[in-house]
Amino acid sequence: MSLWVDKFRPKTLDDLHYHQSLSIRLKSLAASADFPHMLFYGPSGAGKKTRISCTLRQLFGSGVEKLKIDQRVFISPSKRKLEINVVQSNFHIEITPSEAGNYDRVVIQDLLKEIAQTQQVDLNAKHRFKVVVINEADSLSRDAQAALRRTMEKYMSNMRIILCANSTSRLIAPIKSRCLLMRVAAPTPEEMQNVLEHVAKKLKFDLPEEASQQIAEDSGGNMRKALLVFEALKMQSPDLSGSLTIAKPDWEIYCHKVADLIVQEQSPARVLEVRGKLYELLAHCIPPTIILKTVAERVVERVDEAMKADVMHWAAFYETRMRLGNKKIYHLEAWVVKVMSLYKHFMYNFDMADFE
């Protein structure tokens, strides 16, 4: 039995619930003979992947659902072996080049050239070209992106590329200018409620209005999260009535605890305590950016208006540092200490002003 997220994932463009205009566009593009390279971008859980797979289906028919997973070995210039998982059907191939780390350029070069130089052998295929889906395109290195540039033009006759990214900021301009950009915005709460109701109807039970509203609000535009939460709730209380408490993930509660610690007291001992908690979070593989953002957002809720901007400023500042450096904990801690000192200063000045 699969999760509801997978079970009720729309299979065709007609099944999609929201962004109708986008679906119409994709449909007409798939029907026309010249399909462009495409770049799907939008926040996570907005339905980029779903739209890509629907488009592929629209392009080639149900044949694209016969997937096989291959493990391919690439050899880097320094003779290092790289093993990459490749998901492919007869008509398309899906790769996540960021698995290869620094050597993603090699993967892109080898794989794309290989595909570009093989013709479609199946004479019944609807289109002459194969499609290469590149996931997490925004984490491709500059080199790999540069390697894509000319390939995208030269092998247009038997290959199309579909890139999937969270944002276009990290893609180089030449790539963007070669693709048709498809923005997939997060669904609005109403649209999410529609989807939830649709799922409920399929499973033949009633979904109370308040429950769906609550789930939609809580998930912050992330459809996948909403469905997962929905399923979890259904497990907890089968009738979905009464007051529902959506369980927050453990790490989020933990992050909130850290934020509370920072606001309550500012002392070296407290820093030590916070550090222990931060280590704990990092050890559980919570991405440091998410830790920083969650803690910062919580801190901001609890401090004075005048300080909020500063807290966020330093969060942004140290987040950038964190990207450049490679020891994350230093920068997390630096931020904590910075916020504490800001808070102290603020309270101190405030107090003094009050006394005078």
Partner 1 sequence: MAFFQAKSTSATSKHFVDPAHQPWVEKYRPKTIDDVSAQEHTIAVLRKTLVSTNLPHMLFYGPPGTGKTSTILALARQLFGPDNFRNRVLELNASDERGISIVREKIKSFARQTPRAQAVASDGNVYPCPPYKIIILDEADSMTQDAQGALRRIMETYARITRFCLVCNYVTRIIEPLASRCSKFRFTPLDSTSTSSRLSHIASAEHIDVSSEVISTLIETSGGDLRRSITYLQSASRLSSSTNPPVPITPHDIQEIAGVVPTAVINDFAKTLGISVVEDMDVDDLPTNWKLKGFNAVQKKVKGIMREGYSASQTLSQLHDTIILHPTLPARQKAKCALAFAEADKALCDGADEELWVLEVGLRIHKAVTTS
Which of 124/157 has CB closer to partner 1? 157
CA dihedral 265, 269, 273, 276 (to 10 degrees): 150
> Which of 110, 11, 130, 114 minimizes the C-alpha distance to 60?
130
Of residues 198-217, which lie at the interface with partner 1 (CB under 8 A)? none
Q: Which of 54, 184, 240, 259 binds partner 1 (CB under 8 A)?
A: 184
Least distance CB 144 / partner 1 (angstroms):
10
Of residues 275-334, which lie at the interface with partner 1 (CB under 8 A)? 289, 293, 296, 300, 305, 308-309, 312-313, 315-317, 319-320, 323-324
Q: Residue 266, interface with partner 1 (CB under 8 A)?
A: no
- Give the separation between CA 177 and CA 158, rounded to whole angstroms: 20
Q: Which of 12, 109, 194, 214 binds partner 1 (CB under 8 A)?
A: 109
Least distance CB 344 / partner 1 (angstroms):
20
> Which of 46, 2, 5 minimizes the C-alpha distance to 196?
5
Which of 16/315 has CB closer to partner 1? 315
Residue span binding partner 1 (CB under 8 A) among the ranges 65-73, 184-192, 245-253, 340-348: 184-192
Say if CB 187 and CB 215 are below 8 A apart: no
Neighbours of 218 (CB within 10 A): 14
- How, if at all, do strands 68-75 and 81-88 pair? antiparallel
- Give the separation between CA 173 and CA 44, rounded to whole angstroms: 22
The site string for partner 1 over 126-145 (x = CB under 8 A, - otherwise) reads: --x-------------xx--
- Give the separation between CA 236 and CA 230, rounded to whole angstroms: 10
Least distance CB 234 / partner 1 (angstroms):
26
Q: Which of 220, 242, 249, 276 binds partner 1 (CB under 8 A)?
A: 220
Of residues 30-89, which lie at the interface with partner 1 (CB under 8 A)? 31-34, 36, 41-43, 46, 77
User: Cβ contacts of residue 30 below 8 Å, gap of 6+?
Assistant: 13, 55, 58, 59
The site string for partner 1 over 146-175 (x = CB under 8 A, - otherwise) reads: xxxxxx-xxxxxx--------xxxx--xx-
Least distance CB 24 / partner 1 (angstroms):
7
User: Cβ contacts of residue 43 below 8 Å, gap of 6+?
Assistant: 166, 185, 186, 221, 222
Least distance CB 25 / partner 1 (angstroms):
6
The Cβ-side half-sphere exposure at 262, using a 13 Å CA radius, reads 34
User: Cβ contacts of residue 127 below 8 Å, gap of 6+?
Assistant: 33, 35, 59, 60, 91, 120
Which of 73/173 has CB closer to partner 1? 173
- Give the separation between CA 234 and CA 151, rounded to whole angstroms: 49
Which of 96/219 has CB closer to partner 1? 219
> Which of 65, 310, 52, 44 minimizes the C-alpha distance to 162?
52
- Give the separation between CA 85 and CA 68, rounded to whole angstroms: 10
Q: Which of 4, 12, 29, 271 binds partner 1 (CB under 8 A)?
A: 29
Which of 32/71 has CB closer to partner 1? 32
# binding residues, partner 1 (CB under 8 A): 67
For residue 226 the two structure tokens come to 């909403």
Which of 41/254 has CB closer to partner 1? 41
List interacting residues with partner 1 (CB under 8 A).
Answer: 24-25, 28-29, 31-34, 36, 41-43, 46, 77, 109, 112-113, 117, 119, 128, 142-143, 146-151, 153-158, 167-170, 173-174, 176-178, 180-181, 183-186, 220-221, 289, 293, 296, 300, 305, 308-309, 312-313, 315-317, 319-320, 323-324
